[in-house]
Amino acid sequence: MKSAKKLICQRLKKNKIAIVGLAMITFLLFLAVFAPWIVPHDPIEPNLGKRFLSPCKEYPMGTDDLGRCVLSRVIYGTRVSLQVSMSVVGIIAVIGVTLGLISGYFGGKLDELIMRFVDTVLAFPGIILAMAVAGALGPGLFNVMLALALVSWTGFARVVRSSVMAVKEKEFVESARALGCSDLYIMTRHILPNVITPVIVLATLDMGFIILAASSLSFLGLGAQPPIPDWGSMLNNGRVYMRTAPFLTIFPGIAITTAVMAFNFLGDGLRDAMDPRPQRELKK
Amino acid sequence: MTLLSIRDLRTYFYTEDGVVRAVNGIDLNLEEGETLGIIGETGCGKTMLGLSILRLLSENTKVEGEVLYRGTDLIRLSKAEMRKIRGKEISMIFQNSLSSMNPVLTVGKQLAEPLEMHQHMKKQAAKQKVIEMLKAVKIPSPSDRAAEYPHEFSGGMRQRAMIAMGLACTPSLIIADEPTTGLDVTIQAQIIELIKEVLEHSGASMLLITHDLGVASELCNSIAVMYAGEIIEYAGIIELFKNPRHPYTRGFFGSLPNRGLKPMPGTCPSMINLPGGCKFHPRCPHASSRCEKEKPDMLKLGEKHYVRCFLYD
Amino acid sequence: MLKFILKRMALMLIVILGVTVLTFLIMHFTPGDPAEMIALSRHGAESLTPENIERIRVEEGLNAPVYIQYLKWLQHLLHGDLGYSLINGEPVLSEILNRFPATFKLAVTSMIVALIIAIPLGIITASKQYSLFDNLSMMGAMIGVAMPSFWFALLLIHLFALCLGWFPVCGSGSFEYIVLPALTLGTGISAVLTRFIRSNMLDVLRQDYIRTARAKGLTEKLIIIKHALKNAFIPVITVIGIQFGRVLEGSVIVETIFAWPGIGKLLVDSIYSRDFAMIQGCVLFVAVIFVLVNLFVDVSYTYLDPRIRYEERR
Ligand SMILES: Nc1ncnc2c1ncn2[C@@H]1O[C@H](COP(=O)(O)OP(=O)(O)O)[C@@H](O)[C@H]1O
Ligand code: SF4
Ligand SMILES: [Mg+2]
- Contacts with C290 from chain A: Cβ below 8 Å: 123-125
DSSP, collapsed to helix, strand or coil, labels residue C138 as helix
Residues C147 and A256: their CA atoms lie apart, in Å, by 7
Tens digits of per-residue pLDDT, B294-310? 999 999 998 889 999 99
Cα B209 to ligand 1 centroid, rounded to whole Å: 14
Contact B58 A281 (CB under 8 A): yes
Beta strands per DSSP E along chain C = none
Q: Which atom of ligand 2 is nearest to the CA of B310?
A: 1
C-alpha distances in Å from residue B278, one per residue of B6, B139, B229, B231, B240? 22, 47, 12, 12, 21
Cα B50 to ligand 3 centroid, rounded to whole Å: 9
Backbone angles phi, psi at A279, to 5 degrees: -120, 125
Contact A128 C142 (CB under 8 A): no
Best residue among A279, A280, A282, A283 to mutate for probing ligand 1, ranked by most atoms within 8 Å of CB: A279
Cα A19 to ligand 1 centroid, rounded to whole Å: 31
- What pLDDT, on the 0 to 100 scale, is given for residue A282? 46
- Of A180, A171, A190, A179, the C-alpha closest to A105 is A190
Mean pLDDT across chain C: 87
Backbone angles phi, psi at B43, to 5 degrees: 90, 5
CB A85 within 8 A of CB A211: yes
The letter for the amino acid at A46 is P
Tens digits of per-residue pLDDT, C187-231? 999 999 999 999 999 999 999 999 999 999 999 999 999 999 988
Chains that touch C (3 or more CB pairs under 8 A): A, B
Contact B87 C211 (CB under 8 A): no
Cα B137 to ligand 3 centroid, rounded to whole Å: 24
Residues B73 and B71: their CA atoms lie apart, in Å, by 7
- What pLDDT, on the 0 to 100 scale, is given for residue C62? 77
Four-CA torsion A195, A201, A207, A210, nearest 10 degrees: -70
Beta strands per DSSP E along A109-164 = none
Size of interface A-B (CB pairs under 8 A): 26
Best residue among B48, B181, B212 to mutate for probing ligand 1, ranked by most atoms within 8 Å of CB: B48
Residues C46 and C48: their CA atoms lie apart, in Å, by 5
Contact C231 B91 (CB under 8 A): no
> Is residue A265 scored above 90 in pLDDT?
yes
Query: From the CA of A234, how many Å to the nearest CA of chain C?
Result: 11
Tell me what ipTM this predicted complex has.
Answer: 0.90
CB C197 within 8 A of CB C138: no
Say whether residue C277 is in contact with chain A using an 8 A CB cutoff. no
Instruction: Grade residue B55 by pLDDT with cuts at 50, 70 and 90.
Output: very high
- How many of the other CB atoms lie within 10 Å of CB of A93? 19
Cα C57 to ligand 1 centroid, rounded to whole Å: 76
> Is residue A1 scored above 80 in pLDDT?
no
Nearest ligand to the CA of B294 is: 2
Q: What is the crossing angle of helices A70-106 and A247-273, to 10°?
A: 30
Contact C306 B104 (CB under 8 A): yes
HSE at residue A224, side-chain half, CA atoms within 13 A, is: 25
Q: Is A52 left (phi over 0), alpha (psi -120 to 50) or beta?
A: left
CB B11 within 8 A of CB B63: yes
- What pLDDT, on the 0 to 100 scale, is given for residue B263? 54
Instruction: Grade residue C314 by pLDDT with cuts at 50, 70 and 90.
Output: very low
CB B73 within 8 A of CB C173: no
Contact B15 A281 (CB under 8 A): yes
- What pLDDT, on the 0 to 100 scale, is given for residue C238? 80
Q: What is the crossing angle of helices A108-122 and A154-168, to 10°?
A: 150
The minimal CB distance from C218 to the residues B99, B113, B152 is found for B113
- What pLDDT, on the 0 to 100 scale, is given for residue A39? 86
- What pLDDT, on the 0 to 100 scale, is given for residue B171? 94
Residues C48 and A78: their CA atoms lie apart, in Å, by 45
Tens digits of per-residue pLDDT, C137-181? 999 999 999 999 999 999 998 888 888 888 887 887 778 788 899
Say whether residue C128 is in contact with chain B using an 8 A CB cutoff. no
> Is residue B180 scored above 60 in pLDDT?
yes
> Is residue B52 scored above 90 in pLDDT?
yes
> Is residue B262 scored above 60 in pLDDT?
no
More confident residue, A67 or B294: B294
Best residue among B245, B281, B293 to mutate for probing ligand 2, ranked by most atoms within 8 Å of CB: B281
- Contacts with C308 from chain B: Cβ below 8 Å: none
The letter for the amino acid at C191 is A
Chains that touch A (3 or more CB pairs under 8 A): B, C
- Of C227, C208, C246, C210, the C-alpha closest to C118 is C246
Question: Residue A180, class by beta-carbon neighbours within 10 Å (0-12 exposed, 13-18 middle, 19+ buried)?
Answer: exposed
Contact C31 A120 (CB under 8 A): no
- What pLDDT, on the 0 to 100 scale, is given for residue C310? 61
Tens digits of per-residue pLDDT, C53-92? 888 788 777 777 888 888 988 988 888 888 888 888 889 9
Four-CA torsion C7, C12, C17, C22, nearest 10 degrees: 140
- What pLDDT, on the 0 to 100 scale, is given for residue A276? 57
* Among chain A residues, CA nearest to B58: A281
* Among chain C residues, CA nearest to B175: C215
Tens digits of per-residue pLDDT, A76-116? 999 999 999 999 999 999 999 999 999 998 988 999 999 99
Average pLDDT of the segment spanning B235-245: 91
